[in-house]
Amino acid sequence: MESHEPHSEMYYVKIWALLLVLLIISICGPMLEIKILTLVTAFGIAIIKAGIVASRFMHLNVEKKYIHYMLYFMLLMVAIFFAGVAPDVMRNEGTNWINVESKSLIEHHANIMDPEEQEPEHH
């Protein structure tokens, strides 16, 4: 059970207001049209918002430590999966071979100026 006095409702409303401000910043970020800034605001703020929801709403800040460790472990698993698979899936050529299909797909899209054309029918 909770080991501390329940917070007042206002406490949670203030946190919600903070989350809203962060949301607005992350929406406005792209409007400046600087790519790096967009990514930093969008994902950096997402991480911060998630952290706030996790610690204040889910009460992870007062939860036992091993719940934290378990959650970090699961996130680590996702990171291992990403790190182990990305070098394979995200490279479409090796030192002596080229993935012809992917190469033509990427070039095809890089060349067109207008919106997406329909892919030719494949059986």
Partner 1 sequence: MSSNAAAGHGDHHEVSFWQKYIFSVDHKVIGMQYLFTGMFMALIGGFFVYVFRMQLAFPGQEVLGFGTVSPAQYNALVTNHGTIMIFWVAMPVLIAALGNFLIPLMIGCDDMVFPRLNRLSYQIFLLSALIIIGSLFVPGGGFGGAWTAYPPLSANSQYSLTPLGSILWVVAVALEFVAFLIGGINFVTTTMNSRAPGMKMFDIPMIVWMIVIASILFMASVGPLIAGAVMLLFDQTMAIGFFDPAKGGDPVLWQHLFWFFGHPEVYVVLLPAMGIVAEVMCTFARKKLFGYKTVIYTALGTAILSFFVWAHHQFVSGIDPRMANIFTVTTLLISIPVAEMLFVYIATLYGGSIQFSTAMLFALAFLVEFLIGGVTGIFLGSSAADIYFHDTYFVLAHFHYTFVPIAIISVFAALYYWFPKMFGRMMNETWGKIHFWGTVIPFNFIFIPLFILGTSGQHRRIYSYENFPDLATPDMQRLRVIATTSLIVMLVFQVPFLINFFYSMFKGKKAGNNPWNSNTLEWVAPSPPPHGNFAEMPEVYRGPYEYSVPGRESDYWPQNEKP
Partner 2 sequence: MGMVQPIATRRSVTGISTGKLAVWWVLGSEIVIFGGLLSCYLFFRLLYGHWSEEAVHTNTFAGSLNTLILLTSSLFAVLAHRAAEIKDCRRAFMYLWLTIGGALSFLVVKGCEWTYEISHGLTIGKSLFWSFYYTAAGLHAIHVIAGAIIMAFISFDVIKGKNLQRVELIGIYWHFVDIVWIFLFPLLYIAK
Separation CA 27–CA 52 (nearest Å): 18
Q: Which is nearer to partner 2, 95 or 116 (CB)?
A: 116
Residue 4 Cβ, how far from partner 1 at the closest point, in Å?
A: 22
Task: Compute the residue count for the chain.
Answer: 123
Which residues of the shown chain bind partner 2 in the complex (CB under 8 A)?
1-2, 6-7, 9, 12-13, 15-16, 19-20, 23, 26-27, 29-30, 38-39, 42-43, 45-46, 49-50, 53-54, 56-58, 63-64, 66-67, 70-71, 73-75, 77-78, 81-82, 85-86, 89-90, 92, 106, 109-110, 115-116, 119
Q: Which parts of 73-102 interact with partner 1 (CB under 8 A)?
A: 73-74, 77-78, 80-81, 84-85, 87-89, 91, 94, 99, 101-102
Separation CA 18–CA 112 (nearest Å): 43
List the beta strands (DSSP E) in the chain.
Answer: none
**Residue 56 CB coordination number (10 Å):** 19
Separation CA 103–CA 83 (nearest Å): 23
Q: Which is nearer to partner 1, 21 or 77 (CB)?
A: 77
The candidate with the shortest Cα–Cα distance to 40, out of 26, 20, 28, is 26
